[in-house]
Each structure stands twice: as structure tokens, then as C-alpha cells.
Amino acid sequence: MLDHNRSDELLAFRQFRRRVIGFLRLPLGVSESALRDALNAISPDLLANYKHRAAQATLAWASMCRTDMQSLRLHGPADKDAATAFRPHASDPGKSEAAAS
């Protein structure tokens, strides 16, 4: 449920950003700094609102990434040997030296 809310928040911000860009008649590929400069020129309050929404969307995105990373750690490799498959063997000193450098 939380991931769905975060996804909705990200989507809502992307739509909001697109509407702002369209309203200001800026190209869709406008840089973030140029967009913020345009918003500030119109109204510092509008820029503050945009920054707040951007920060909320960034936090939602970071939280989703953190959840994904935790999920990967919890599940781990399916095979215990998969975690050690790429480690050099002690019997092969050439590989051990290459891995150490």
C-alpha cells in the first residue's frame, strides 16, 4: 500500500511539472535550473511551492529505492554458492592478487 502511495505521489509530481512547463510554454526538455529560474521570475512563492513538491517526490522516490534495496538484501541469492561464485579461490594466487588490486 505504501509503495502505491509513493508511486502516486511521483506520478502526481511528474504531471504537475509537465503542466507547469506547458503553462510557461517552455520546451519539455527544459533543465531543472531553467524551470526554477522561470518560476522564481514569476513568483518566489510559486517557486517555493514547486520546490516543496519536488522535495516530497524525491523523498518518495528515495523511500521506494530503499525498500527495493532492503527487499534484495532480505531475499539474497537463491543459492548459497552464488554469493561466492565470483570470489577467487585460495588455490589460484594469480586471481587473488588481481582481485586485491
Q: Is residue 92 part of a domain?
A: no
Q: Is residue 88 part of a domain?
A: no
Q: Is residue 95 part of a domain?
A: no
Q: Is residue 82 part of a domain?
A: no
Q: What is the pLDDT of residue 96?
A: 46
pTM of the model: 0.58
In whole angstroms, what separates CA 91 from the centre of its chain?
42
Long-range contacts (CB closer than 8 Å, 24 or more residues apart) made by 5-8: 5/60, 6/60, 6/61, 6/63, 6/64, 7/64
pLDDT tens readout for residues 55-83: 999 888 888 777 656 666 665 555 455 45
Q: Is residue 87 part of a domain?
A: no
| Separation of alpha carbons 55 and 49, rounded Å | 10
Query: How many domains does one find in the chain?
Result: 1
Domain residues for the domain of 30 are 2-75
pLDDT tens readout for residues 13-30: 999 999 999 999 999 999
Q: Is residue 85 part of a domain?
A: no
Q: Is residue 90 part of a domain?
A: no
